[in-house]
Amino acid sequence: MIPMIFHIMLYKDSTGATAPAKYDQALSYAQRMVRVANYMAKPTNIQFFIKEVRNDATLYPNLLLADRSKWLAAPSSSCTGSYCFSDSTYMSKLVADFPRSINVFVASDSTSGVPLGYAYVPGSDLYPEFGHIFVTWDSLSADGSNSLSLYNDGPNTLLHEAFHHLGLQHPFGATNGASTSCVDGDYVIDTPATLAPATSSSFYSTAQAYCMELFWGRYGGDWDAAYTRWSTTLGIPDTDINTWADTCPTLAGYDELGNYMTYNTPVCFAALGHFTAAQVQRVHYMTSELNPILYSWGQYYAQNAAPPPPMASPPPEYYTNICRATKNNCACKSSWTYNGNTYSYCDRTGSSNSLSCEVATPGSCADCSSGSSSTCILSCTGTARQCEKSLAPGFSAPPPPPPRPPSPPPLPPPPPPRSVPAACQKSISGCDCRSTWEYDGHYNSYCASPDGDPRLWCQVSYTCASFNNSNPYQYCSAAINTSYCGGEVYFSTLRSTPLPPLPPPSLTPRPPPALSPPSPPPRPPSPPPAPPPPVVYVAEVRGSLTLNAACALLSNAIDAQALNASLASELARVLAVPLSYVRVTGLACGSVVADYTVAFPSGATASQVLAVSSATASLSGQISTSYGAAISSSSGGVTVMQSSLLCPAGTAPSSVCPGSPPPSPRPPSPPAPPPSPPKATKRQKLAIIIGVAVAGVVALVIVLTLLVYCIIRMKKANHLANHHHNNAHGQPPLTGGGKVAPEPQAQYPAPGAAAPPPAPGVGGMGMGMGMGMAPGGYPPPPGQQYYQGAPAGPYGMVAAPQGMPYYAPYMQPVPGAYNGAAYAQ
């Protein structure tokens, strides 16, 4: 009996009311979800009970998030705020009774792009951010998939994530989708190897139709019978052995459609839901080894704790039987006659496989004539194959499943437990080491060195007096090593026995190896990448808004920041521009006056700028932030900064493009040369040119003579002036001509030198995320707090350095779609 604590994350909607809607009914939703999940879990000898449902923000203020956007983003793998489920500080404040109870966090919904649920494989018993379960609000709500109308997909999601937390992988491996090769990736021997979940397989539409036929036709859509099947089925049922469902045809077995740890349409779990015996064995062993507090208390609750008071039987849940009701849920007669033939409920009356029926009470059926008491025959949702009616001529039933292959020979008995020396079971302080512990996606036993540290270390038991959740590791004795204590261990019913040890090395001495030539010098580091070019803005529109909000909120930095973000988002929405264009430049009192700009980068058009400029003057009534609506607005006009980019040639004239020049005309063709004149004319012109040239030379000589004379006179005058000036200061007279100062030279950076920083306001900014540790650093004893796991998803998530697995959003099967017809998603 494993306790669960549900945390219902809340937020304030635009009216200030606490949301989501009907959050105060979370207790009844959780009770139904756990009750149905326990039917599925019963064959594993594991049951869950609700210890607490927390949905009161007054008692638990950390449940209340600032707004819906944070509520949607909190479980996302890309969430980076202090409200995220991946934040260790935040999760440590929220969890309760950890790790004895499984903490289930409910937030977001499937419309936001997050998975329906996730968990870690296995869940950590040290770090809450790696040791919780998440499911969406619509998975918990009775208005969502916690209902018969959606085939109990919500309880199935909770079960799937809970068994990830207890150590189970997907049958198709430690991924959230299709694998790249057929390997038995869940380390369980009796789940056939699977390349991909049914939702990613070529036979998905066939699987949907087959499960609909099985649940509604063979089992009559009886949910009480389904709960009984779930409570008693352990192993792959015969109906889940289908030759057409085989993504790994070279390996034994067929893909399971109803294993709770795979992904499929929910009706397949209603008809075929099951665990296997080896999955149950793995869950108990892994949980007892890797989460001993949860497992030992679970045994205590099962054996000693008083059972919870019996709950009153819930009223029967309403659902539509597609084989006994019309498309709009009018009940059919159990026996009726048409054209001399007798039929039962929904039946085939023509040459097709579609069904119809006579309505039992026409007066209460809106689809029948108003107030009519005569015969009323309407169409049904189910098909002949789904409702097990005779098929129309030309149609045949699919072939029966092949006979079950003979059972394989029994496995040899397992080897005896390995003997671990006593010195390897204690830390240097004398504390007991954990018999199995996880680090960096690998499992270790007692003293080990998963990071290559020459000295062994271990995770100590929580019974150690010096145990600390933030640093549960201690060094072991320096006198032991890996060969003495053993290495990595595995949880697997598939792994083959290790190869025999190699023979001891020869004692004959060997000649020393030849000296290898020295290694070449390391290559110089690559130059840093060039910074991105600055954004070029072509125009800017300024505006101002007055918000009906209390000025006091500006004194709170968090509220002011939230208002800034909310206002920018609203402006981008109303003005129909990207959020990156909008910048709130100032917030002031009276009520709250907000100044803003809308900057248009290169590529924007003049019509866009004019449209935004026109809209900024009449935003009152359209802008509604989470802190108040706009009650007045004004426009500050348009500033054009790059007219040539905003108004290229051919742009229509406007207030921002007053006169765009027409396209440049092509230059005129050069004139054709005139006809050649007679030879006498050419000689006459040459004589004139020579005469002019001679006269010009004479004039030039005269000018140069006068210029030389003036220069000599000036030098003499300067010489006398310098003589008088230098003698006045006791300096000797100049004995030669003066030197000319060199011209200043342009200064260029040396080759390879760093470029100067960009001017203020120019350039870009990048953000990135990363995680690492000092090379060769041994984490534990010095304070390393590192848990390597990954959420298992969709339903769940996986361990080790895998990505977060997720439960793919539910895809409602379309009744009647068969023979390869694709279902709407």
- DSSP codes, 742-753: PPPPPP-PPTTP
Q: Which of 443-457, 640-654, 700-714 has the lowest mean pLDDT?
A: 700-714
Residue 608 has pLDDT above 60, yes or no: yes
Provide the pLDDT for residue 293: 95
Task: Specify the higher pLDDT residue, 350 or 176.
Answer: 350
pLDDT tens readout for residues 544-598: 888 878 787 777 777 787 788 888 888 888 888 888 888 888 888 867 788 888 8
C-alpha–C-alpha distance, residues 573 and 34, integer Å = 42
Residue 496, pLDDT score:
45
Mean pLDDT on 71-98 = 93
- Read off the pLDDT of residues 408-419 as tens digits, 9 standing for 90 and up: 666 667 667 778
Instruction: Assign 468 a pLDDT band (cuts: 50, 70, 90).
Output: confident
Instruction: Determine the Cα–Cα distance for residues 195 and 173; give it in Å rounded to an integer.
Output: 8
Backbone angles phi, psi at 422, to 5 degrees: -60, -35
Q: Please tell me the least confidently modeled range out of 387-396, 421-430, 456-465, 476-485.
A: 387-396
If pLDDT is split at 50, 70 and 90, which confidence band does 525 have? Answer: confident
CA gap 196, 246 in Å, rounded? 10
Question: Domain boundary at 326, 359, 383, which?
Answer: 383
In a domain, 575, yes or no: yes
Three-state DSSP class for 64?
strand
**Residue 262 amino acid letter:** T
Helix (H) or strand (E) holding 54: strand 48-54
The pLDDT score that the predictor gives to residue 738 is 35
In a domain, 97, yes or no: no
Mean pLDDT (whole number) for 769-776: 35
Residue 557 forms part of a structural domain: yes
- Using 50, 70 and 90 to split pLDDT, how confident is the model at 721? very low
CA pair distance 289, 293, nearest whole angstrom: 10
Give domain status of residue 740, yes or no. Answer: no
Decide: helix, strand or coil at residue 380: strand
Inform me whether the pLDDT recorded for 692 exceeds 80.
no
DSSP 776: T
Q: What is the pLDDT of residue 308?
A: 65
- For residue 623, pLDDT over 60 is answered with yes
The overall longest dimension of the chain from CA atoms, in Å, is 145
Q: Say if 662 falls within a structural domain.
A: no
| Pairwise CA distance, residues 432 & 424, whole Å | 10
Confidence of residue 737 (pLDDT cuts 50, 70, 90): very low
Query: Domain containing 604 — which CATH number?
Result: 3.30.70
pTM of the model as a whole:
0.59
Domain that includes residue 373, residue range: 336-383
Average pLDDT over residues 428-437: 94
Could you give the CA distance from residue 98 to residue 574 in angstroms, rounded to a whole number?
46
Range 446-460 average pLDDT: 94
At 596 the pLDDT is: 83
Check residue 46 and give its pLDDT. Answer: 97
pLDDT of residue 500: 45
Q: Are 239 and 272 in contact (CB under 8 A)?
A: yes
pLDDT for position 455: 94
State the total domains in the chain: 2
pLDDT at res. 825: 31
Residue 501: predicted pLDDT: 47
Boundary (domain end) residue, out of 359, 383, 407: 383
Residue 4 has pLDDT above 90, yes or no: yes
Q: Kindly tell me the burial class for residue 472, based on how many C-beta atoms sit within 10 Å of its own C-beta (0-12, 13-18, 19 or more).
A: buried
Q: Higher-confidence residue: 149 or 530?
A: 149
Whole-number pLDDT of residue 543: 86
| Higher pLDDT among residues 272 and 702, named by residue | 272
d(CA 651, CA 404): 76
Q: Please state the three-class secondary structure of 29-71 as a single string.
A: HHHHHHHHHHHHHHHHCCCEEEEEEECCCCCCHHHEECCHHHH
Average pLDDT over residues 500-509: 49
Question: Greater confidence, 314 or 715?
Answer: 314
Per-residue model confidence (pLDDT) at position 139 = 97
The amino acid sitting at 384 is A
Q: In whole angstroms, what separates CA 708 from the centre of its chain?
A: 87
* % of the chain with per-residue pLDDT over 90: 40
SS3 for 816? coil
Tell me if 194 is assigned to some domain: no
User: What is residue 495's predicted lDDT score, i.e. its pLDDT?
Assistant: 56
Residue 344 lies in a domain: yes
Tell me how far apart the alpha carbons of residues 825 and 812 are, in angstroms, rounded to a whole number: 7
* C-alpha angle 530-532-537 in degrees, rounded to nearest 5: 150
Query: Tell me, what's the pLDDT at 677?
Result: 38
What backbone torsions phi and psi does residue 39 show, to the nearest 5 degrees? Answer: -60, -45
* Residue 713 confidence class, pLDDT cut points 50, 70, 90: low
pLDDT at site 358: 93
pLDDT per residue as tens digits for the range 245-291: 999 998 888 999 999 999 999 999 999 999 999 999 999 999 999 99
Q: What is the average pLDDT across 90-119?
A: 94
Report if residue 551 sits inside a domain.
yes
pLDDT digits (tens, 9 = 90+) for 34-82: 999 999 999 999 999 999 999 999 999 999 999 999 999 999 988 988 9
User: Across 5-19, 499-513, 726-740, which has the greatest mean pLDDT?
Assistant: 5-19
Alpha helices in 213-349 (DSSP H): 223-232, 266-272, 277-290, 292-303
679 pLDDT more than 50: no
CA contacts within 13 A on the Cβ side of 126: 21
CA 642/CA 790 separation, integer angstroms: 50
Measured CA to CA in angstroms, residue 210 lies from 199, 239, 256, 257, 354 at distances of 14, 10, 13, 10, 17
CA dist 705 → 330, 409, 622 (Å): 124, 124, 86
Average pLDDT, the chain: 77
Which of 350, 366, 383 lies at the terminal end of a domain, its last residue?
A: 383
